Structure 1
Amino acid sequence: MDLIDTLRTTGAVRDFTDEPVEDAVLARILDTARFAPSGANAQAWRLVVVKDPNLRARLRDLYLGPWVDYLTLTAAGLRPWSPVNDRDAESAALATDTGSAREAAASQGFTAHLDEVPVLLALFADLSQLAAVDRDLDHYTLAGGASVYPFAWNILLAARAEGLGGVLTTMLIREEDEVKKLLGADDPLVLAGVIALGHPVRQPRRLTRQPVESFTTIDRIDGAQFSPDTR
């Protein structure tokens, strides 16, 4: 597949057929993905291919709680767990009865069938290898992830080139302690996300994104919009 086409059609895929993904295919995907950039070429990632049905079922169960919270916060008009959220507003939203939401989440879609996806990968980051240059700033840190998430994106791109689809979800980070115990991950490893891969029920074709000029300006955040016609 042409690189530009791959970049423009690699969407989040959560619905998979029952067709298995051979280990040889996954090995090719990971063999390509490992060339992702990372700070000092530290390659500070560890990956667990979760095959055991019991482990998969436990991850599915752990996923449910955070997903219900996500739905509850969204229904309250909040961006779930935004670093700038009013924590009292979050607490008030989460205090509402989520019984029906939990029942719905447990019986529908990706959450209900997480244990059945053809490939389930747990991605960990080694904190001892991350140059988190914003570590001591007084706001939410982002920089460390720059050495890990390109690898996750490479997995999705390489999977797309193999005719597969997938999604990176960070929901299980809300249950990190349990996931680490379940998969034998000790400090300084932290959970960076879980990646699901498989043969899509529908191949993504046209993705919808904001135009370049909506997020790109010249010289300052409040500067003129950048566009091909800018002089």
Structure 2
Amino acid sequence: MALNLSVDEVLTTTRSVRKRLDLDKPVPRAVLMECLELALQAPTGSNAQGWQWVFVEDAEKRKAIADIYLTNARGYLSMPAPEYPEGDTRGDRMGPVRDSATYLAEHMHEVPVLMIPCLQGRADEAPLFSASFWASLFPAVWSFCLALRSRGLGSCWTTLHLLGEGERQAAEVVGIPYDQYSQGGSFPIAYTKGTDFRPAKRLPAESLTHWNSW
């Protein structure tokens, strides 16, 4: 059932959900397909529609991908945290963000569904620069996340499983033709524990804006 949220509410409250994913409540395929149908309305370069969407429900395959993610996450999360000026909200939130990222890495295998969006072609061999390559997938991916939010589900855009040989290993787990398709991340999908998400603390737009020159 869709939540009664305005467009602005969906845009400002679609969070990276980690600790509030309900690991026990099943996610119907019909809901995922509703969200995907909406996502496929997103812009796609040259109308190529070269995307493919892999939903992983099988527990053993989810565990295999989650193990790849956890291995890479351990190295990433052990790195020193970025330093920000005193009073910068990014620094204030670094502790909770790392804590929630660690939680997700340790529980990724428990989510009801993992989704891996794929785009035809290899990003490292694309004839055009990378921004152009991924621009044919990322709008649809984010539309999918917004559609999830509007239906009381949440996710988190993760990319750590792609490091090193991880992308190739994940491709082998679910049969993605590695030489033909690039993976755009992995998305743990679940209903959320409560739906009362709020806008995040962000840097003010005025501090990031330039008119006519830098």
TM over 0.5: yes
Q: TM-score, normalised by structure 1?
A: 0.74
Q: Pick one of 159, 162, 172 that aligns with 1:181.
A: 172
CA shift at 1:12, angstroms?
Answer: 0.6
* CA distance in 2 between partners of 1:111 and 1:202 (Å): 21
Counterpart in 2 of 1:133?
128
The answer to whether structure 1 residue 36 and structure 2 residue 42 are counterparts is yes
The answer to whether structure 1 residue 218 and structure 2 residue 211 are counterparts is yes
CA shift at 1:131, angstroms?
Answer: 7.2
Q: Pick one of 3, 8, 11 that aligns with 2:7.
A: 3
* CA distance in 2 between partners of 1:132 and 1:12 (Å): 32
The answer to whether structure 1 residue 117 and structure 2 residue 111 are counterparts is yes
Deviations 1:150-188 (A, max 9, x none): 111011000011111111111111111101111111122
* CA distance in 1 between partners of 2:146 and 2:7 (Å): 9
Q: Aligned with 2:75: secondary structure?
A: helix
Compare relative contact order (CA 8 Å, sep 6+) and give the higher one, 1 or 2: 2
CA contact (8 A) 1:176 1:191 kept: yes
* CA distance in 2 between partners of 1:132 and 1:30 (Å): 28
Counterpart in 2 of 1:49?
55
Q: Aligned with 1:143: secondary structure?
A: helix
* CA distance in 1 between partners of 2:170 and 2:68 (Å): 8
* CA distance in 2 between partners of 1:44 and 1:132 (Å): 15
The amino acid that maps onto 2:133 is G
Q: Pick one of 141, 159, 169 that aligns with 1:152.
A: 141
Which structure 1 segments of 5+ residues have no match?
A: 79-104, 135-140, 222-231
Q: TM-score, normalised by structure 2?
A: 0.80
Which structure 2 segments of 5+ residues have no match?
A: 84-98
Q: Pick one of 168, 171, 182 that aligns with 1:190.
A: 182
* CA distance in 1 between partners of 2:120 and 2:54 (Å): 13
Q: Aligned with 1:29: secondary structure?
A: helix
Q: Identity of counterpart residues, as a percentage?
A: 32
Deviations 1:119-154 (A, max 9, x none): 2111111127997632xxxxxx33311111111101
Q: How many residues align?
A: 186
Deviations 1:46-80 (A, max 9, x none): 111101111011111111121012112235x59xx
1:56-71 alignment, distance < 5 Å: 56-71=62-77
The amino acid that maps onto 1:20 is P
Larger radius of gyration: 1
Q: Aligned with 1:61: secondary structure?
A: helix
CA shift at 1:111, angstroms?
Answer: 1.1
CA contact (8 A) 2:148 2:154 kept: yes
* CA distance in 1 between partners of 2:193 and 2:170 (Å): 28
Q: Aligned with 1:167: secondary structure?
A: coil
Q: Aligned with 1:168: secondary structure?
A: coil
